[in-house]
Amino acid sequence: MSRKPIIVWIRRELRLADHPALVTALRAGRPVIPVFVLDDTAGRPLGGASRWWLHQSLLHFRAAIRELGGQLILRHGEAIQCLGKLIDETDASALYFTRHHGPEDVATEAALYRSLGQTLELRRFGGRLLFEPEQVLKGDGSPYKVFTPFWKACQSLPEQSASLPAPERWSDAAPSLASDKLAEWRLLPVSPDWAGGLRTAWQPGEAGALNALDDFLDSHASRYKTDRDFPDRPGSSRLSAHLHFGEVSPRLLWHTARAAAVQQTTETGIEAFLRQLIWREFSYHLLFHHPQLNSQPLRQEFASFPWRDDAQQLRRWQQGRTGYPIVDAGMRELWATGWMHNRVRMIAASFLIKDLMIPWQAGEQWFWDTLVDADPANNGASWQWVAGCGTDSAPYFRIFNPSLQAKKFDPQGRYVRHWLPELRDCPDKWLQTPWLSPDGADVDPAYPQPVVDHGMARERALRAYKEMRTRAA
């Protein structure tokens, strides 16, 4: 049996538990060399919040491997070149990696097989998704475009296999190899250091992911179906960034949640949570079949929609100064913590797209830079859903009234008051519509007037939508 090393190319699988490529390599009884390559040449550069999270996650993952007796190699450059150089340095005979599904990932994997597939063993593993895109297709072999049939199709597939336990020790030690210093990658903000709120809000790394999962299942899962819509309640799992960086696998989440449902009789909440995991799957399948998901509308008629280019209004939205409290609270939560509650994401996105008629791509780009869970599949699919131009979308003419949404989902105003200190003394009656407060009573004059009148903006958007439909007919 060959004793040559196996290289495990770590992409966004920064975990030990249920990591098929890594666990399989370690079970082979050969030296195993895990390597993470920071490739700035392939695809879209990481946003600022994602770079911060990646730095923290790599620190934890490197320490976990070191504790088992291994070494995580860090390399910066074009992925295939870095991998080829490492193969030459180590005389490795195999390269294991996890399949990814974005257009750049697909292209990189194809190039990898062309350049290295004839000279060493290449093995590609699952782990990013519960179901690969080829597994969930309609009877005619085409992909699903609507979520509910996709969800039913997933439910009809065989049960997920058991997740793999984390290795307890490293295999034979590989020779010490040159590795970049993480600090040299300059992933962290320096001047200014805007990450204080992120450090307070999050615990990146596999241990942080498992802690968040335990907290959710112990304290919030039973009420998830209802509480997840209320931003003033701790009803969300807050696992999205951990999932994105592969600090926990979807399969482990699936099995752990199912087990908790049986033990704690929280089936209703768990069912809603599992459904959200499948929404993530659906978004990734959309990205795989529609590589331009983040930039081009899936409904072609929207290519001619009369979007407005208004840099000042876009900036007010980004800064949380639209004059609509629920929108502004969400945008300030995003800037402070790198995260925004899902219900508020929909409200803020609808406001940008439909009240301001600014292209959804501008909002998608801002979220990409500021979200710790910025994800190529979830980000694009969600923005297209709100815009009405995706495959399974809210109709364009469904326009959220931000004030009514706030009264319904933040009825005591706790969320708004937390993020908008200017309105903490505003009476409940005027909290969501402070511009109607008589003489501005108890409203800090620093809080802005509405950037648009919602009623007029709604009519403007509906006219534009009607005109677009007429042209497309």
| pLDDT score of 469 | 87
CA distance 373 to 241: 4
Compute and round to an integer the Cα radius of gyration of the chain.
24
Average the pLDDT over each of 193-197, 264-268, 394-398 and give the range with the smallest value: 264-268
Torsion sign over Cα 308, 310, 311, 316? negative
Separation in Å, CA 23 to CA 16, 97, 167: 8, 11, 7
Mean pLDDT score of the chain, rounded to an integer?
Answer: 94
| pLDDT score of 266 | 52
The model's pLDDT over 139-188, given as tens digits with 9 standing for 90+, comes to: 999 999 999 999 999 999 999 999 999 999 997 766 789 999 999 999 99
- pTM assigned to the model: 0.95
Q: Higher pLDDT residue, 33 or 174? A: 33
Residue 122: strand, helix, or coil: strand
CA distance 239 to 325: 26
Q: Higher pLDDT residue, 181 or 472? A: 181
DSSP track, 202-244 = ---SHHHHHHHHHHHHHHTGGGHHHHTT-TTS--S---HHHHH
pLDDT greater than 90 at residue 403: yes
| pLDDT score of 398 | 86
CA distance 101 to 134: 12
pLDDT greater than 60 at residue 48: yes
Extents of the domains making up the chain: 6-127, 129-160+206-289, 300-468
pLDDT greater than 80 at residue 264: no
CA nearest neighbour of 189 among 318, 74, 46: 46
pLDDT greater than 60 at residue 1: no
Buried b (16+ CB within 10 A) or exposed e, 296-316: ebbbeebeebebeeeeebbeb
Q: Residue holding tokens 């210093």?
A: 181
Report the percent of the chain where pLDDT is more than 70: 97
CA distance 113 to 359: 38
Question: What CATH number does the domain located at 129-160+206-289 have?
Answer: 1.25.40.80
Q: Which residues pair with 98 in a beta bridge?
A: 125
Residue 207: strand, helix, or coil: helix
Q: Which residues pair with 32 in a beta bridge?
A: 6
Per-residue pLDDT band at 267 (split at 50, 70, 90) = low
Q: Do domains 129-160+206-289 and 300-468 have the same CATH topology?
A: no
pLDDT greater than 70 at residue 2: no
Q: Are the CB atoms for 420 and 447 separated by under 8 Å? A: yes
Tell me: domain 300-468, CATH 1.10.579.10, correct?
yes
| Assigned token pair, 295 | 């930039």
Burial classification of residue 168, based on how many CB atoms lie within 10 Å of its CB (0-12 exposed, 13-18 middle, 19 or more buried): exposed
CA distance 367 to 352: 12
| Assigned token pair, 213 | 């999962």
The model's pLDDT over 56-77, given as tens digits with 9 standing for 90+, comes to: 999 999 999 999 999 999 999 9
| pLDDT score of 263 | 67
Question: What CATH number does the domain located at 6-127 have?
Answer: 3.40.50.620
For 80, other C-beta atoms within 10 Å of its C-beta total 18
Q: Are the CB atoms for 407 and 432 separated by under 8 Å? A: yes
Q: Residue holding tokens 């495959």?
A: 391
Q: Higher pLDDT residue, 268 or 30? A: 30
Q: Are the CB atoms for 195 and 188 separated by under 8 Å? A: yes
